[in-house]
Amino acid sequence: MSGGGLLVAGTTSDAGKSVVTAGICRWLVRRGVKVAPFKGQNMSLNSFVTREGAEIGRAQAMQAQAARVEPTALMNPVLLKPGSDRSSQVVLMGRPVGEMSARGYHGNRQQELFEPVTACLEELRESYDAVICEGAGSPAEINLRRTDIVNMGIARAARLPVLVVGDIDRGGVFAQFFGTTALLDATDQSLVAGYLVNKFRGDVTLLEPGLEMLHGLTGRRTYGVLPYAHGLGIDEEDGLRVSLRGAVRESVVAPPVGEDVLRVAVCAVPLMSNFTDVDALAAEPGVVVRFVDRPEELVDADLVVVPGTRGTVRALAWLRERGLAAALARRAAQGRPVLGICGGFQALGAHIEDDVESRAGEVEGLGLLPVRVRFAREKTLARPVGEALGERVDGYEIHHGVAEVLGGEPFLDGCRVGSVWGTHWHGSLESDGFRRAFLRQVAAQAGRRFVPAPDTSFGALREEQLDRLGDLIEEHADTDGLLRLIEQGPPEGLPFVPPGAPAAR
């Protein structure tokens, strides 16, 4: 017998679907419910490698952690990794199966994936008491409804109740809730159980008259009003949600342990992927992280990070056009720290041969590390464990580029020359001992009297954040009502809200 389920949809992208899904997972698992997350199709440059070597969206890996289960490819069967405005790499069950244009994908391929996606959801429902599904964008994208495999298409196939989340901080949330419902056909509307307001500031009693009117207009109730919560720095899905010149997170920064802070500048390269690598740095007291796109912004940085990217050759051109390549070369010559991760590591190398990702052929790198990179058609997906700076390091690899290291000191799978470090390993900075040892070396090279905090645990901080998400649901949502939806499905007799859309299937 299949377990219960719920689809968390949103009125817009970034309405809060990912955090609400994670919060519901954490709330349920604390109640003793065996729960798993699911997202049929994810578009993201932030991905993760499961223990079986499958690539999935980082948001689903984070939600699995919230549910206290091991992430698997079943939880995100289709991952789209944009390579341009019009094409993406299609990853099916954790493995790349080709590059497709948006028109080609939404035309035929997406329909072909409907069965595998619904089969994954059913397999999860047979193994868990509840599966909390996350939608994508808005369920009212009527131009895409015919081929939908992530919103109402999956809800209808699995008979899932739908909870629609709206971000009231953006404004217009009542119109969004009403319009989202009224643009669905009658069958889809029958699955929309109600709404959840996210990011509310102020006195909730002032909102209640509007919620009552919304109930009168749609026949659907609101299952909670979540307050605006600062510092929920969980993994992003669709892109960088902060200003390039802003802080990485909104959390209060603890004072430094030593006399100085350490300033980290992250080059905001095109198609930046897994920028979550620097979250562990931002979690350190006294470390200030910002994203930059101009050479003058590197001047006062103690460490510059060149992060991962889905387009190494394109990132190289961007670094050169912006004057950042010359600034990085000056830093290296002055013995000032630079760290390249994955695509950033490749860009720091001497030479690139790419007939796969950009098809640009022979390209000269920045020449700061003695490395030659050849792009292979087979993608490397791995969860390596190693040692660096005398500390254990855990990481994960997601790359087509194969690096031939021709010199320097060994550093994980890459190398180090003076103050320039490079590795393909994502997530290495989440290893607490290694991160502290690395920051001590950076501080020494930068001439800063910075001391890493002796007790910062990135894993513990992540658990605290996930518990805060669970608390938001438990304290501000109608948990009895959510349980009824998960266990019993959509309420009977939900009224039709005109005008509705033409029948989808």
Query: pLDDT tens digits, residue range 36-60?
Result: 999 999 998 899 999 999 999 999 9
Instruction: Note whether 199 and 167 are within 8 A (CB).
Output: yes
Q: Answer yes or no: is pLDDT of 249 > 50.
A: no
- Give per-residue burial for 257-295: e unless 16+ CB within 10 Å, then b: eeeebbbbbbbbbebbbbbbbbbbbbbbbbbbbbbbeeb
Q: Which residue has the tokens 């101009």?
A: 294
Q: Where are the alpha helices (DSSP H) in 7-48?
A: 17-30
Q: Answer yes or no: is pLDDT of 101 > 80.
A: no
**List 25, 120, 133, 342, catalytic entry:** 342
* Nearest by Cα to 439 from 262, 308, 288: 262
Element housing 118 (H / E): helix 114-127
- Higher per-residue confidence, 82 vs 346: 346
Q: Answer yes or no: is pLDDT of 239 > 60.
A: no
pLDDT for the residue 242: 37
In the chain, what is the greatest distance between 2 CA atoms, to the nearest angstrom? 71
Q: Answer yes or no: is pLDDT of 190 > 60.
A: yes
Average pLDDT over residues 103-129: 86
- The reply to whether 476 belongs to the active site is no
Burial of 372 (0-12, 13-18, 19+ CB in 10 A): middle
Q: How far is 30 from 24, CA to CA, in rounded Å? A: 10
pLDDT for the residue 491: 96
Sign of CA pseudo-dihedral 273, 277, 279, 282:
negative
- The tokens for 114 are 């409907």
Residues 295-343: pLDDT tens digits? 999 999 999 999 999 999 999 999 999 999 999 999 999 999 999 999 9
Which 8-state DSSP code applies to residue 278? G
Q: What is the DSSP string of 450-483?
A: ----TT--HHHHHHHHHHHHHHHHHHHB-HHHHH
- The tokens for 486 are 């998960």
- The reply to whether 400 belongs to the active site is no
Q: At what angle do helices 17-30 and 479-488 cross, to 10 degrees?
A: 90
Residues 439-492: pLDDT tens digits? 999 999 999 999 999 999 999 999 999 999 999 999 999 999 999 999 999 999
Q: Side chain identity at 36, as an amino acid letter?
A: A
CA dihedral of residues 373, 377, 383, 387 (deg, nearest 10): -20
For residue 273, give Cα distances in angstroms to 185, 310, 391, 409. Answer: 37, 6, 26, 26
Q: How far is 279 from 264, CA to CA, in rounded Å? A: 11
Which 8-state DSSP code applies to residue 295? G
Cis peptide leading into residue 499 (ω within 30°): yes
Q: How far is 482 from 489, CA to CA, in rounded Å? A: 10
Q: Answer yes or no: is pLDDT of 236 > 60.
A: no
Q: At what angle do helices 173-182 and 208-218 cross, to 10 degrees?
A: 10
Weakest mean pLDDT among 22-26, 82-86, 97-101, 185-189: 82-86
Average pLDDT over residues 382-387: 97
Q: Answer yes or no: is pLDDT of 245 > 60.
A: no
pLDDT for the residue 505: 58
Helix (H, G, I), strand (E, B) or coil at 142: coil
Residues whose CB is less than 8 angstroms from the CB of residue 84 and which lie 6 or more positions away in sequence, other chains included: none
- The tokens for 434 are 């290694």
CA atoms in the 13 A half-sphere facing the CB of 386: 20
Q: How far is 101 from 377, CA to CA, in rounded Å? A: 18
* Nearest by Cα to 62 from 259, 230, 236, 319: 236
- Higher per-residue confidence, 357 vs 301: 301
Instruction: Note whether 312 and 343 are within 8 A (CB).
Output: yes
Cβ atoms within 10 Å of 72's Cβ, excluding its own: 22
pLDDT for the residue 451: 95
Angle of CA points 13, 16, 22, to nearest 5°: 130
Cβ atoms within 10 Å of 175's Cβ, excluding its own: 12
CA atoms in the 13 A half-sphere facing the CB of 347: 32
**List 399, 400, 424, 426, catalytic entry:** 426
pLDDT for the residue 247: 38
Q: Answer yes or no: is pLDDT of 15 > 90.
A: yes
Do β-strands 4-10 and 162-167 pair in parallel, antiparallel, or remain unpaired? Answer: parallel
Burial of 367 (0-12, 13-18, 19+ CB in 10 A): middle
The pTM assigned to this predicted structure is 0.92
- Give per-residue burial for 41-65: e unless 16+ CB within 10 Å, then b: bbbbbbbbbbeeebbbbbbbbbbbb
Arithmetic mean of pLDDT over the chain:
92
Confidence of residue 112 (pLDDT cuts 50, 70, 90): confident
Q: Side chain identity at 16, as an amino acid letter?
A: G
